[in-house]
Amino acid sequence: MGETLRARERPWSLGVVMARRATRDGAVRTLVFAVVFGLYAWLQAFGYRGAYPSLADRLAFAGAFAHNDALRLFYGYPYDVVTVGGYCAWRVGGTLSIAAAVFGVMSAVRALRAEEDAGRAELVLAGAVRRSHYFLAAVLSVLLGALALGAGELGGYLAGGLALGPSMYAALATALVVPVFAGLGALASQLAPTRRGALALSLGGVGTFWLARMVADTWAPAAWLRTITPLGWAESMRPFAGSRADFALPSLALSGLTLLGAGVVARTRDVGVGLAAPRDRARSHRGWLGGPTRQYVLVARGSLAAWATGFGVFAFVLGMVSTSISSAGVSPELRRQLQSLGLGSVFTPGGYLAFVFVVFIVALTYFVSAQMAAARQEEADQALETLLAQPVDRRRWLLGRQLVAALGSLGLAGEVGLLAWLGAATRGANVSLGQMLEAGANTLPTAILFLGLASLLYALVPRASSAVSYALASVAFLWYVVGSLLHVPRWLVDATPYVHVGYVPAEAFRPVPAFVMLGAGLLTGVAATLCLARRDLLSA
């Protein structure tokens, strides 16, 4: 007989093979995150140095702006903003730790649950593989991802001219967020009935911890909350601003505990089934089966409700903190500089809300991307084949999906206007419902534009479309954040739609760009249906 394979491979080498497989599966996403981390860190360091060259500028900035409660929602608590490093720790660390949390959750669920739901884990575990080694290999791949993110951030700081030691510490503070949330994702992967359930559960966890940090950072009596949220620990490590390495301990301890717990469950749990078994029976939903669009709403009702909840909570909290803005002591010079940072008149509740509503535009571009990604998923799962073998027109099918995305955006835009107003009203802020609804409506044209683009991408390059749509939405926003800090030609700065959106209600609604965006969205959307009508359906 021929050669035998290396019959008794050492468990370790098998583990390495599995870890390599898991790492390669998520490599593209990890790379994209790492590059974005690097670019963001570099651009903030670079931009701050350019915008506030002297200590006096920075002190003025610190006094009037950094200690503004409302901005802490996004960036966290500023410990020191008069040095480039301190500013970066605030602006970069605060934002990137949220991104790191999302990354940790997504990669853990991918490595620990998606493989099972796809049936691939069964194949691997049918081999001479120990469960614990399989689990460890998955965890190892996530930790390698954390390392990559940290390296990206470090590279950015170094390129931005910051010192090696403190930069490494700052990158570590962010990277430590990954295993904590990977632990959360790993636990959710053991509990939830499905991959989607695990993802929703743990993303809900990210949202809750973020909310806790927001409240802690903006409302002095609740500052203690910072000590119980992992995002607060990252902040409390105070990179570039009087390092407190002891705050790494709770992160390490919690990661260890959650991962250990998940590992223990994973050793005995049925592969592909969560501890909380899914309901295997469903009530009938007659009314929702009349056509593909209604059926989609039925199937996606859980995720649509989650979007609505997230938007609503966020809008309400933003409304509440909008009253803590004060313009006392802000010089006209500083105002001008803030303008150059893209942070114009933010010192009134209305002005502040007008500014932060940009966040809802970003979220809506992700929402429409997610809707098109769901359309693609139906095709990849081949359910679309069964559907289109019926007398169902492809163009109408896509149009239905676009309609859900557009009406969903409309609903979310109205919701954030209403709830932001309500939040502000509870604190007696002087903004009207009409103003806030207008601010909500102002987020729509950009969303429609991205809906058109995402559908066109879906029709033209189905397999890459989801990733490219999310990337496009992210790049458009990041370019808006940093484009104006850099000395590049005007038209290049203007290439992102965000530049053309007015800060409503602080500024007037800008009808021309809005209609251009709406028109472009409609055109690309129609083009998408026509392109889809001409191509082969492609499974995963």
What does 172-232 look like in DSSP terms, one character per residue? HHHHTHHHHHHHHHHHHHHHSSSHHHHHHHHHHHHHHHHHHHHHHHH-GGGGGGGGGSHHH
Residue closer to other proteins by CB (options 50, 278) is: 278
CB of 119 to other proteins, least distance (A): 11
Nearer to other proteins among residue 331 and residue 382 (C-beta):
382
Identity at 318, one-letter amino acid code: L
Q: Which CB, 79 or 288, lies closer to other proteins?
A: 288
- In the complex, what is the shortest distance from the CB of residue 382 to other proteins, in angstroms, rounded to a whole number? 4
Nearer to other proteins, 245 or 538 (CB): 538
Which CB sits closer to other proteins, 299 or 516? 299
Give me the least distance between CB of 287 and other proteins, in Å please: 11
Rounded alpha-carbon distances, angstroms, from residue 354 to 177, 347, 349, 437: 31, 11, 8, 11
C-alpha of 26 from chain center: 17
DSSP structural state of residue 90: I
Q: For residues 392 and 495, which CB has a smaller minimum distance to other proteins in the complex?
A: 392
Alpha helices in 484-510 (DSSP H): 490-493
Considering the complex, what minimum distance in angstroms separates the CB of residue 195 from other proteins?
11
Give the total of residues touching other proteins (CB under 8 A). 33
99, amino acid identity: A
Angle, to 10 degrees, between the axis of helix 444-460 and the axis of helix 511-532? Answer: 20
Q: Is the dihedral of CA 149, 362, 310, 436 positive or negative?
A: positive
- Out of 6, 10, 490, 534, the only residue in the binding site for other proteins (CB under 8 A) is 534
Q: Which is nearer to other proteins, 132 or 303 (CB)?
A: 303
Per-residue x/- track, 223-262, other proteins (CB under 8 A): ----------------------------------------
* DSSP state at residue 505: T
Q: List C-alpha distances in Å: 227 to 174, 187, 251, 307.
A: 16, 22, 11, 28
Closest CB 540 distance from other proteins, rounded Å: 10
Q: What are phi and psi of 377, to 5 degrees?
A: -60, -40
Is the torsion defined by CA of 373, 287, 302, 540 positive or negative? negative
Question: Among residues 49 and 394, whose Cβ is nearest to other proteins?
Answer: 394
Options 43-51, 234-242, 380-388, 521-529: segment touching other proteins (CB under 8 A): 380-388
**Piece in contact with other proteins (CB under 8 A), picked from 164-172, 177-185, 449-457, 529-537:** 529-537
Q: Smallest distance, Å, CB 289 to other proteins?
A: 4
Contact pattern for other proteins over residues 382 through 421, marking x by CB under 8 A: xx-xxxxxxxxx----------------------------
Q: Does residue 306 interact with other proteins by CB under 8 A? A: no
Q: Give min distance, CB of 197 to other proteins, in A.
A: 11
In the complex, minimum distance from the CB of residue 254 to other proteins, in angstroms, rounded to a whole number: 33
- Residue 247 Cβ, how far from other proteins at the closest point, in Å? 42
**For residue 166, which of 41, 33, 52 has the smallest C-alpha distance?**
41
Identify the CA nearest to 504 among candidates 366, 352, 319, 339: 352
Instruction: Report angle CA 437, 439, 441 to the nearest 5 degrees.
Output: 70
Q: How far is the CB of 379 from other proteins (least distance, A)?
A: 10
Our CB check for other proteins shows the closer of 243 and 303 to be 303
194-223 positions binding other proteins, by CB under 8 A: 194
Contact between 371 and 405 (Cβ < 8 Å):
yes
Among 381, 426, 434, 511, binds other proteins (CB under 8 A): 381
Tell me the chain's radius of gyration from C-alpha atoms.
24
Beta carbon of residue 304, minimum distance to other proteins (angstroms, whole number): 13
Q: Which amino acid is at 434?
A: G
- Rounded Cα distance between 490 and 486, Å, is 10
Among residues 374 and 425, whose Cβ is nearest to other proteins? Answer: 374
Q: Which of residues 176-195 bind other proteins (CB under 8 A)?
A: 194
Report the SS3 class of residue 317: helix
Per-residue exposure over 107-130, b if at least 16 CB sit within 10 Å of its own CB, e if not: bbbbbbbbbbbeeebeebeeeebe
- Give the shortest CB-279-to-other proteins separation in angstroms: 7
CB 441 within 8 Å of CB 413? yes
Contact in structure between 192 and 276 (CB atoms under 8 Å): yes
Query: Toward other proteins, which CB reaches closer, 31 or 273?
Result: 273
> What are the angstrom distances between the C-alpha of 447 and each of 97, 360, 428?
26, 10, 31
Q: Which is nearer to other proteins, 382 or 430 (CB)?
A: 382
Residues 262-301 that bind other proteins (CB under 8 A): 278-286, 289-292, 295, 298-299
**CB-nearer residue toward other proteins: 211 or 388:** 388
CB of 525 to other proteins, least distance (A): 21
Q: Report the first-to-last Cα separation within the chain, whole angstroms.
A: 39
Q: Which positions touch other proteins (CB under 8 A)?
A: 194, 278-286, 289-292, 295, 298-299, 381-383, 385-393, 534-537
